Amino acid sequence: MDELSYGPLTLELSKIGYFKRPEANIYWLGIRDNEQLFKIQATLHQALKDRGFKLEDRPYRPHISLGRKVILKNDFNADELNSLAEKISIQINKVDLMKSEFAKGELKYTILYSKGLA
């Protein structure tokens, strides 16, 4: 991460989506294609592979998770959420290395390292 030489970027949200799961779906908001974000991901991915890490080869799909095991109400209006989300942009000025683990039945995230984008 210390080798990253990218400046801050702006991410724009897009539409709601989900990963299908047997018990209940994981819902997320997509992020519009952003060339700089894809370059950062590709740089990190390649650096890890070069250092012997075994990584997934599936396509990178940037998103913000909204919830796991989500069951929507019958009157949920995805179009309304999409309309609101498409107006949101987020300034990103750092990259965090995160650890995720289950503790006492809950998913817990811990920042292990941060690298500023400047």
Could you state, in order of their start, the residue ranges of all structural domains in the chain?
9-116
Length of the chain: 118
DSSP for 92-110 reads E-EEEEEEEEEETTEEEEE
The 10s digit of each residue's pLDDT in 24-48 is 889 999 999 999 999 999 999 999 9
- For residue 57, the model assigns a pLDDT of 87
Task: State the residue for tokens 């796991």.
Answer: 68
Say yes or no to pLDDT of 69 above 90.
no
CATH number of this structure's domain 9-116, picked from the four choices 3.40.718.10, 3.90.1140.10, 2.60.40.10, 1.20.1240.10:
3.90.1140.10
One-letter amino acid identity for 77? N
- For residue 21, the model assigns a pLDDT of 87
Measured between alpha carbons, how far is 31 from 50 in angstroms, rounded to an integer?
28
Mean of pLDDT values over 78-101: 94
